[in-house]
């Protein structure tokens, strides 16, 4: 007997308008129209994603900073109020329990946003360590819907709804905001490479009234963004946009046996911290001695789409494995993230991928896979 799949507050809307599939214990929309159309809406205008399946833990108390510094790898003490940071949570062997975003909303109050697949595991981890500190932890995942608004027109839409220019909020910040008539937290982050935000919509519990309120907010976004070319987007476009940006995904690039240094996300790790986080000593040793494997990007030279688990070869020797792969809507080529042995390939070098028994060439590259002057949050404005 399998566990019953969970549903977000927006499920009824998704079921009516999209294709719903099982994902990480939830029933989530994989698409509403064509995945490529949704992908390009995010790259060219604005797309919205239901991210309510992720977990939102509110942590507060006089020792919240010490508690979070013990459990996460970035420098919590440097977070200003309304500031945010990308970070990781390690096990004793410096492998990753999860990657997450941490926001400081008051002096001693934080929001921890973690992956859907890891929510129960992280909750247990927090509960195991909380008794050693003066902290209280609340799981508000089912009380607050969350929607990602992404794309070059995202801040135009959010500013329109806020009645003020919210693009003045820096990246990796989290501010209280009223969008239309809805009280929210506007977090200036995302998972597509594009500009935008993730909106925590307050007062949207998993009740009939709360679900209606969440759906009304979702429809307000669609209505006010209609002239901007807005599209609702599903898991398909979420994965293809994050992969074009070169972003890691837990269960693919990240797991309990992979360190942040091997994943090449060193910006999530600091070593001048107090107290030292779980896994600190082994991670510090790896920094000094070198990694066991390293993440690379690949763009297909030959026809073919690399997929998770495919072998990577060099001179007839297996050197690594694809962890994520797809057809890039922008490049119209297969792209992939992979792990290989350290120091065996360089950027620009050609390797081979075994695609269903047929050897196909791919070039080692860095990310993002798109031109950052034309796409992504660093794009050059058309007006310059």
Cα pseudo-dihedral 342, 344, 349, 354, rounded to 10? -90
By DSSP bridging, strand 47-50 and strand 231-233 are parallel
Q: Are 45 and 228 in contact (CB under 8 A)?
A: yes
Work out the average pLDDT over 1-12. Answer: 86
Residue 344 predicted with pLDDT over 50 = yes
Collapsing DSSP to helix, strand or coil, 232 comes out as strand
Q: In whole angstroms, what separates CA 213 from the centre of its chain?
A: 25
In this predicted structure, what is the pLDDT of residue 176? 98
Read off the pTM: 0.96
Contacts of residue 31, defined as CB under 8 A and 6 or more positions apart, other chains included, come to 18, 19, 38, 233, 234, 235, 236, 237
pLDDT of residue 1: 36
Residue pair 269/304 in contact (Cβ under 8 Å)? The answer is no
Q: Region 223-228: what's the mean pLDDT?
A: 98
Distance CA 376, CA 104 (A): 26
- The total of other beta-carbon atoms located within 10 Å of residue 178's CB is 14
Contacts of 118 (CB under 8 A, 6+ apart): 55, 97, 98, 250
Overall residue count recorded for the chain in this entry: 384
CA distance readout (Å), 17 to 11, 29, 231: 10, 9, 12
Q: Tell me how far apart the alpha carbons of residues 222 and 44 are, in angstroms, rounded to a whole number.
A: 16
Place of tokens 């599939």: 21
Q: What is the DSSP string of 114-126?
A: E-GGGHHHHHHHH
DSSP state of 80: P
Phi, psi of 144 (to 5 degrees): -135, 115
**What is the C-alpha separation between 297 and 349, in angstroms, rounded?**
11
- On whether the CB atoms of residues 12 and 214 are closer than 8 A, the answer is no
pLDDT for 383: 36
pLDDT mean across residues, the chain:
97
The residues near 168 (Cβ < 8 Å, ≥ 6 apart) are none
Q: Which domains does the chain have, with CATH numbers?
A: 11-54+142-243 (3.30.1360.120), 55-139 (3.30.70.1400), 293-384 (2.40.30.110)
Half-sphere exposure of 301 (CA within 13 A, CB side): 13
What is the reported pLDDT for 3?
A: 73
Calculate mean pLDDT across residues 205-218.
98
User: Confidence band (pLDDT; 50, 70, 90) for 20?
Assistant: very high
């Amino acid at each position: 007997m399998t566990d019953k799949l969970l549903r977000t507050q927006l499920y009824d809307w998704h079921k009516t308008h999209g294709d719903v599939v099982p994902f990480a214990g939830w029933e989530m929309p994989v698409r509403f129209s064509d995945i490529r159309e949704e992908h390009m809406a995010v790259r060219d205008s604005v797309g919205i994603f239901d991210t309510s399946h992720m977990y939102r833990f509110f942590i507060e108390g006089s020792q919240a900073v010490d508690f979070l510094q013990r459990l996460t790898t970035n420098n919590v003490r440097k977070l200003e109020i309304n500031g945010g940071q990308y970070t990781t949570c390690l096990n004793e062997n410096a492998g990753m329990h999860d990657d997450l975003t941490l926001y400081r909303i008051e002096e001693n109050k934080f929001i921890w946003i973690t992956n859907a697949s890891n929510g129960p595991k992280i909750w247990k981890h927090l509960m195991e360590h909380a008794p050693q500190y003066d902290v209280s932890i609340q799981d508000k995942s089912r009380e607050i819907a969350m929607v990602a608004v992404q794309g070059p027109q995202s801040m135009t839409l959010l500013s329109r709804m806020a009645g003020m220019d919210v693009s003045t909020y820096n990246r990796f910040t989290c501010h209280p905001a009223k969008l239309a008539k809805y009280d929210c937290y506007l977090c200036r982050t995302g998972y597509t490479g594009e500009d935008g935000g993730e909106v925590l919509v307050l007062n949207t519990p998993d009740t009939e009234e709360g679900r209606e309120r969440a759906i009304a907010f979702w429809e307000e976004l669609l209505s006010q963004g209609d002239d901007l070319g807005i599209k609702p987007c599903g898991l398909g476009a979420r994965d293809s946009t994050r992969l074009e940006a070169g972003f890691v995904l837990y269960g693919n690039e990240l797991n309990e046996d992979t360190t942040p240094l091997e994943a090449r996300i060193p910006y999530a790790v600091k070593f001048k911290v107090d107290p030292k986080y779980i896994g600190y000593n082994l991670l510090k040793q790896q920094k000094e001695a070198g990694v066991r494997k390293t993440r690379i990007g690949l763009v297909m030279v030959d026809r073919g789409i690399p997929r998770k688990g495919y072998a990577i070869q060099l001179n007839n020797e297996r050197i690594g494995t694809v962890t994520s792969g797809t057809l890039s809507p922008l490049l119209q080529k297969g792209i992939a993230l992979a792990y290989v042995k350290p120091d065996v390939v360089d950027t620009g070098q050609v390797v081979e991928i075994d695609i269903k028994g047929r050897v196909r060439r791919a070039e080692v590259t860095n990310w993002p896979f798109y031109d950052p002057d034309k796409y992504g949050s660093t794009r050059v404005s058309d007006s310059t």
